[in-house]
Chains A and B, each alone.
Chain A
Amino acid sequence: MTDNGYEPKIVAFLCNWCTFTAADLAGTSRIKYQPNIRIIKVMCSSRVDPVFILKALLDGADGVLIGGCAPGDCHYSKGNFYARRKVALAKTLAQNMGLDTDRIRLSWIPASEGPKFAGVVNEFTEKIKKIGANPAGQEVFI
């Protein structure tokens, strides 16, 4: 399961109404997935400030997942579309700072899709393992 023992740490900002609920559902359906993810609840994916994403990476997170409702399903109507822009902005900034933008992922996972949530987490964890540890977390990084 682990590649040479490296266990990345992934921070996930999930919207309360869809992806957080999907994570709950993965739990109640006892779907096993990679243990590296740490979930932080926000009410809507649009609450995720690009600063959160960058700060997570600078504080040593190896990956940041942002989860929101499927297009058209955001509890607040269109928050997820704003989230998409904010994540795009965060990626641009991350790139300028020399961070790997593949460490940032936005996924739209409906509340009813526990298996999809587990799938995304596994996929993303595998990817981060391939990319390797985030240098920003290891040493002084400017």
Chain B
Amino acid sequence: MRESIPKIGVYVCHCGTNISGKVDVDAVSQYAATLPNVETARNFKFMCSNPGQQLVIDDIKEKGLNRVVVASCSPRMHEKTFRKACQTAGINPYYFQMACIREHDSWVTEDPDQATKKAKDLVRGAVFRVTHHQQLTSRVVDINPNVLVIGGGIAGMQAALDIADGGKKVYLVEREPSIGGNMSKFDKTFPTLDCAACISTPKLVAVGQHENIELMTYSEVIDVSGFVGNFKIKIKQKPRYVDADKCTGCGVCSEKCPSKVLSEFDHELTNRKAIYTPFPQSVPNTRVIDADHCIYFKKNRCRLCEKFCEANAIDFEQKEKIVEVDVGSVIIATGFETFDPVTISQYGFGRFPEVYTSIQFERINNATGPTSGKILTKDGRKPESVAIVHCVGSRDKNHMKYCSRVCCMYSMKFAHLVHEKTGAEVYEFYIDIRSPGKGYEEFYNRVQEEGTHFIRGKVAQITDIVDSPEDRGKLVVVAEDTLARKVRRIPVDMVVLSVGLKPSSGIEDIVRMVGISLDSDGWINELHPKLGPLATPSDGIFVAGCCQGPKDIPDSVAQGQGAAGEALSLISRGKLEIEASVANIDPEKCMGCRQCEDVCFYGAISLNPVSFVCEVNEAICKGCGNCTATCPNKAIELKHFNNDEILAEMEGILFNFDKFQGDFNQDEIKPDIIEPV
């Protein structure tokens, strides 16, 4: 090892006349030549051009330069270009520094003298800084080709299928006993009115049978550690008390089970048994015993299901299992829940039997629902009139201030279904109709033509108080018709509340585990609202579907496919270069106070329980430097942005050359000991 002093080359770019039109580039390069450690300083028409780069490369080789400063445009433009040139010439790419004298100087400064002065200051800062630069190498890690998908709604299923079809292994974790999500509850889907089951059931089956998909239903992710390409996932599999390998799905157990529970899938419109599957097409079709309602678990007797199961599949001894899997990327597709309108008490949900939520109304319309798809009141009558109330919970500053995006459309789908199935009068109470989408406006027109009454106004109250004879036996919907400018009281047989969408419960735990955040409405923050809609700030973590915000099925599917594409693209890279500018903790200086651990948003820092000092996981660190500036002991160095480098740049900038007399003190700007290049 030999000590070598820095030999800096400074290159001032004219950028045509973009810089030289304002800055005296000759003066700047002449000045640069007088700065300490500068071996050569030149100016050139276009530094980023091939001849410009060649100039640097030749000088490095011929004059033995080991540091390079280019004063030109913003580093955001060409830092990579010049780093590469340095590398080509055989020096470490991080032995380079750029001074921005175009965007930050020639283009924004009126006075040429001031611009030249500023350029000199900036070049001086860069020269001082580059002296302190260290050799850095970006590291490369392998990417595990397995993918975890959390949530088996339409978005998650689509993502899983695309990745599995691409030949990669997928773990699909769904917390309910079956995959399918919200879509599997619907009857028809807007605007084409395809039957939801006809388009989703084949997907469920494909997911269940795909050899590359390991389906884990009734399971939840409880821990995520590691980093992009190398995540370790802990999954809790709740006991089903039914042996999946033996259960044939015949359903005798459910028939015999004496314990009745309100069905979650039917949103409490029907009962299910304590041993059940959520719906007939469930995937997997293995039954589940709901231990909270099973008589055996509560009272230690019954076991009727066991007695009648010919396959001997019932296993009361099953225990919760924790499974660990390794994956390279994660797709979150946890979807949404519907808003609970009980809190809007003036709408009478829960009080009036004929007030339904939209998701309940989907079940009523569904052939496997409580009325086998017929629209009937609870006492079995065909309704003569139905009111559909838009924006329940949505666009409401007391609840959710955003628009839930799908409610106008599904409300109009309901209007169509009511017309078709009952011939009843339909009243849509809306604030604005929002129908942006392919064929959506046309669907709106169609529903209008079918004779639906559209009343523009927010519903104030739903009441059973009889005001006039025609109110008798009806629910009266009171609303201000803002177009006709009068209060309307419309008696109806059924009311459907078009409840808004809100994030699935438990989403907070998921985002905490993977180190990302939620927006003020509780949806997952994507990396960039326009240019990074499926990625997140945590590398290797992607989102798809409604967990990122309300959207319809086509958009959810598109996102599922997009996220699969992101994951596959990551996998096909095979290896990943990890940023060289990461934090590093000096164990000699760390006192284990863990303040850095607290401020690191990515969880890159953890305390080593043996040495009791903190350590940075370089693969997770994003190089923000928050910890570096936080550590009270100055134990943390952020590579390429360490204190020496930043302070040297600052000292360079502030160095008062006009007042300065005599030689530079070489000690003050002393170079680091570097290895021969």
Given the contacts A38-B118, A43-B624, A47-B628, A9 and B107 also touching, CB distance less than 8 Å: no
Which residues of A (34-64) have their CB < 8 Å from a CB of B? Answer: 35, 38-44, 46-52, 55-56, 59-61
Query: Considering residues A23, A47, A52, which has the most beta carbons from chain B within 10 angstroms of its beta carbon?
Result: A47
* Bound Cα distance A35, B653 (Å): 14
Closest to A21 in B: B76
Q: Are B111 and A35 in contact (CB under 8 A)?
A: yes
Chain B residues with CB under 8 A of A86: 629-630
Closest to A78 in B: B601
B158 interface residue, CB < 8 Å from A?
Answer: no
Query: Considering residues A61, A82, A118, A137, which has the most beta carbons from chain B within 10 angstroms of its beta carbon?
Result: A82
Q: Are A79 and B118 in contact (CB under 8 A)?
A: no
Q: Are A79 and B624 in contact (CB under 8 A)?
A: yes
Q: Are B650 and A40 in contact (CB under 8 A)?
A: yes
- Cβ distance A36 to chain B, nearest Cβ, rounded Å: 8
Closest to B79 in A: A41
* Bound Cα distance A137, B623 (Å): 32
Chain A residues with CB under 8 A of B599: 46, 82
Sample of 19 A–B contacts (CB below 8 Å):
A16-B76, A21-B76, A23-B104, A26-B103, A35-B115, A35-B117, A43-B625, A43-B638, A44-B624, A44-B626, A46-B625, A47-B629, A49-B643, A50-B629, A55-B650, A75-B537, A76-B622, A77-B517, A79-B624
Given the contacts A11-B650, A35-B111, A46-B625, A82 and B118 also touching, CB distance less than 8 Å: no
* Bound Cα distance A50, B634 (Å): 12
- B624-648 contact mask (Cβ, 8 Å, vs A): 1 or 0: 1110111000000010010100110
Q: Which of A20, A41, A61 contacts B654 (CB 8 A)?
A: A61
- Cβ distance B462 to chain A, nearest Cβ, rounded Å: 38
- Cβ distance A128 to chain B, nearest Cβ, rounded Å: 14
Chain A residues with CB under 8 A of B9: none
- Cβ distance A59 to chain B, nearest Cβ, rounded Å: 5
Given the contacts A35-B115, A52-B646, A52-B647, A47 and B641 also touching, CB distance less than 8 Å: yes
- Cβ distance B530 to chain A, nearest Cβ, rounded Å: 11
Closest to A25 in B: B103
Q: Which of A20, A27, A46, A79 contacts B108 (CB 8 A)?
A: A27
Given the contacts A30-B107, A47-B638, A11 and B653 also touching, CB distance less than 8 Å: yes
Query: Considering residues B114, B626, B643, which has the most beta carbons from chain A within 10 angstroms of its beta carbon?
Result: B626
Interface size on A, residues (CB 8 A): 45
A126 interface residue, CB < 8 Å from B?
Answer: no
A96 interface residue, CB < 8 Å from B?
Answer: no
Given the contacts A11-B650, A47-B641, A39 and B624 also touching, CB distance less than 8 Å: no
Please report whether the interface of chain A is mostly helix, strand, loop or mixed according to DSSP.
Answer: mixed
Q: Are A42 and B646 in contact (CB under 8 A)?
A: yes
Which residues of B (94-124) have their CB < 8 Å from a CB of A? Answer: 100, 102-104, 107-111, 114-115, 117-118, 121-122
Which residues of B (180-224) have their CB < 8 Å from a CB of A? Answer: none
Q: Which of B103, B109, B643, B647 contacts A32 (CB 8 A)?
A: B109
B428 interface residue, CB < 8 Å from A?
Answer: no
Q: Are A27 and B104 in contact (CB under 8 A)?
A: yes
Closest to A57 in B: B654
Closest to A32 in B: B110
Which residues of A (1-37) have their CB < 8 Å from a CB of B? Answer: 1, 7, 9, 11, 16, 20-21, 23-24, 26-28, 30-33, 35
- Cβ distance A83 to chain B, nearest Cβ, rounded Å: 8
Closest to A86 in B: B629
- Cβ distance B188 to chain A, nearest Cβ, rounded Å: 39
Closest to B103 in A: A27
Q: Are A52 and B650 in contact (CB under 8 A)?
A: yes
- A59-73 contact mask (Cβ, 8 Å, vs B): 1 or 0: 111000000000000
- Closest 5 pairs between A and B when the two form their complex, measured CB to CB: A27-B103, A47-B625, A46-B626, A35-B114, A76-B624
- Cβ distance B362 to chain A, nearest Cβ, rounded Å: 35
* Bound Cα distance A32, B109 (Å): 5
Chain A residues with CB under 8 A of B107: 27-28, 30
B75 interface residue, CB < 8 Å from A?
Answer: yes
Chain A residues with CB under 8 A of B601: 76-79
- Cβ distance B112 to chain A, nearest Cβ, rounded Å: 10
Closest to A60 in B: B654
- Cβ distance B623 to chain A, nearest Cβ, rounded Å: 6
B471 interface residue, CB < 8 Å from A?
Answer: no
Query: Considering residues B75, B118, B517, B654, which has the most beta carbons from chain A within 10 angstroms of its beta carbon?
Result: B654
B649 interface residue, CB < 8 Å from A?
Answer: yes
B50 interface residue, CB < 8 Å from A?
Answer: no
* Bound Cα distance A55, B11 (Å): 29
Given the contacts A40-B650, A55-B647, A61-B654, A46 and B110 also touching, CB distance less than 8 Å: no
B345 interface residue, CB < 8 Å from A?
Answer: no
B335 interface residue, CB < 8 Å from A?
Answer: no
B651 interface residue, CB < 8 Å from A?
Answer: yes
* Bound Cα distance A33, B105 (Å): 10
* Bound Cα distance A118, B110 (Å): 13
Closest to A117 in B: B108
Q: Which of A33, A38, A46, A75 contacts B125 (CB 8 A)?
A: A38
* Bound Cα distance A11, B638 (Å): 21
* Bound Cα distance A24, B114 (Å): 19
* Bound Cα distance A20, B79 (Å): 14
